[in-house]
Amino acid sequence: MKVENACGKQIEAELSGMSYKPFTQATKYDGSSKVVNFSNALRKSGLKDSQTISFHHQLRNGDYVINQTLEIIRELGIKNLRLAQTALFPVHKSVIDHIKEGMIIRIEGSCNGPVGDYLSRNPLEYPVVLRSHGGRWAAVTSGELHPNVAVIAASSADCRGNATGIIGDSAFGNIAYSQADAWHADTVIVVTDTLVDYPCPFREIYEGLVDYVVVVDKIGDPQKIVSGSLQLTDDPIKKKIASECVELMDAAGIIKDDMIFQAGAGGISLTAIKYLDERLKEKDCVAALSTGGLTKYIVDMYQAGRLKQVNTCQCFDVDAVRFVRDHLESASTIGEYSNPLMKGRNTDRLDTVILGATEVDTRFNVNVNTHSDGRMLHGIGGHQDVSTAANLSIMTVPVYRKTTPVVRDLVTTVSTPGDVVDAIVTDQGIAINPKRKDLIDKVQGLIDLVSIHDLKEQAYTATGGPMDVKFGDKIVGITKYVDGTVLDNIYQIRE
């Protein structure tokens, strides 16, 4: 059957058993500016009571965007929101006021510092959900965690929403956490303090996903993207632990040409990187790749010729930001880094990773979320993601801290299951997971090993054992594994 379309042409509406709609009208695309003020952006977003709003945390303790956004939402009178940030820091303490006022009733994301401390005593109606970086990405892409509105901080953006974190006065590094939100949120708002000519260079967020662009005086303080002191440790105990990490790697045959590694940004991890650099130099070896967070110490390795490539999803200092700007090939997203739903991740070929912990136990379970007093003060970050992937996952802890045993019968909160933890390096020796008999056989006789149970006994003898913490019946949070299953419940602390 032939029909006439809007061009005046007779076209067949059915061909070979397929139906075809005739052309009716052409529409020109709108290339106008998407820049509006913050209040209008949130009004136009359609954000309503009981919906979900998301943010990334790459300005860390220097972030201004979350607080600015929530203050405007308060003025708009929107209530009962689910906050789906990748992480909160001490700068976000005002979130507590929004909780008390009923504006925020659910949180699914890391709570570092005051907010987590408050929630440990004052549970929300729904428990806080703590996921790894990769686990959160998977939750967003699968629909388990759906942002109605995604607010994405960018150090530079153009009027159409192309955006980056690599250039601008508030540059913080590549935007690695928000692409999933940009793709899946109902409405996307880019917030920047530097509006650049179209098109924005180093485009990380694409204009086709962005609804509104907001220009503010300042998105944050890039000098505060580091949470704590990013320095090599001077503590002899911590230096010993860092040194033992490198000895373990060497005994395991990992320190060689083309090794792939990752280390955190804590004092022990940074010092271990220094010792690893020295060992590579001694052995005349060149590492193939570093993954994860980037620091000046890894940049130094690269510039010294002892590291071929860098793959980073988070910058921990300004040297790292400059490096990513000059080496765009080094930037990746969290999805590329550790999305468990993908067929492959950047972390899959990791030879070794060095991580910290608040507690470890005789089952090799690791706690990074709570302190031994039960306070929920930290997120999981990439801890599970890389422990699951690395051939040698190393946890670094002292046997005890002051009067608190770190090596215990059972951790207060399971953040990373012992099945994927290979070694625990302490100031009193190295314990290897008995499940890794292959590793034990390889290093036996090259380094001294101790039983995890002996380390626990040392911790209890020195401290008198774990403190008696009183927990209530209410669950304030849950930790999830990368596959979405529940690892543990975090209970309310009784005053």
Which tens digit of pLDDT belongs to each residue from 427-446? 999 999 999 999 999 999 99
Sheet with 366-367, edge to edge strand ranges: 366-367, 359-361, 407-408
What average pLDDT does range 62-86 have in this prediction?
98
User: Which pLDDT score is estimated for 227?
Assistant: 46
Strand partners, 111: 88
- Can you name the CATH fold of 236-493? Glutaconate Coenzyme A-transferase (3.40.1080)
Residue 272 pLDDT > 70 = yes
- Residue 275 CB partners (closer than 8 Å, separation 6+): 242, 243, 245, 246
Each residue's pLDDT tens digit, 151-170: 999 999 999 999 999 999 99
108 C-beta neighbours (distance < 10 Å), count:
23
Q: Which tokens sit at 30?
A: 């709108």
Question: Which is nearest to 296 in space by CA: 361, 242, 226, 235?
Answer: 226
Q: Which tokens sit at 383?
A: 């801890």
Residue 424 pLDDT > 70 = yes
**Sign of the dihedral through C-alpha 132, 225, 112, 191:** negative
Q: Quote the pTM value.
A: 0.96
Q: Are strands 314-315 and 293-294 parallel, antiparallel or unpaired?
A: parallel
Each residue's pLDDT tens digit, 207-242: 999 999 999 999 999 778 754 446 788 899 999 999
User: Which pLDDT score is estimated for 226?
Assistant: 57
Strands (E), 296-358: 307-310, 314-315, 352-356
Where do the domains of the chain lie?
Answer: 1-30, 38-108+145-224, 236-493
User: Letter for the amino acid at 150?
Assistant: A
Question: Which is nearest to 410 in space by CA: 381, 367, 369?
Answer: 367
Question: Which is nearest to 325 in space by CA: 152, 206, 171, 156?
Answer: 171
Question: Which is nearest to 71 in space by CA: 39, 45, 44?
Answer: 39
Q: Evaluate whether 38-108+145-224 and 236-493 have a shared fold.
A: yes
Say how far apart CA 174 and CA 324 lie, in whole Å. 7
Each residue's pLDDT tens digit, 248-263: 999 999 999 999 999 9
Each residue's pLDDT tens digit, 355-375: 999 999 999 999 999 999 999
Q: What is the CATH number of domain 38-108+145-224?
A: 3.40.1080.10
Q: Is the peptide bond before 199 cis (omega within 30 degrees of 0)?
A: yes
Q: What's 314's DSSP letter?
A: E
Residue 340 and residue 483 in contact, taking contact as beta carbons nearer than 8 Å: yes
Expressed in angstroms, the distance from the first to the final Cα of the chain is: 78
- Residue 322 CB partners (closer than 8 Å, separation 6+): none
User: Which pLDDT score is estimated for 229?
Assistant: 46
User: Which pLDDT score is estimated for 211?
Assistant: 98
Say how far apart CA 155 and CA 201 lie, in whole Å. 12
pLDDT bucket at 1, cuts 50 / 70 / 90: confident
User: Which pLDDT score is estimated for 267?
Assistant: 87
What average pLDDT does range 86-112 have in this prediction?
97
Say how far apart CA 98 and CA 272 lie, in whole Å. 41
Residue 168 and residue 194 in contact, taking contact as beta carbons nearer than 8 Å: yes
Share of residues in the chain with pLDDT > 90 (%): 95
What average pLDDT does range 458-466 have in this prediction?
98
3 state DSSP class of 44: helix
Share of residues in the chain with pLDDT > 70 (%): 99
Residue 148 pLDDT > 60 = yes
User: Which pLDDT score is estimated for 350?
Assistant: 98
What average pLDDT does range 114-138 have in this prediction?
97
Residue 355 and residue 384 in contact, taking contact as beta carbons nearer than 8 Å: no
| Mean per-residue pLDDT over the chain, rounded | 96
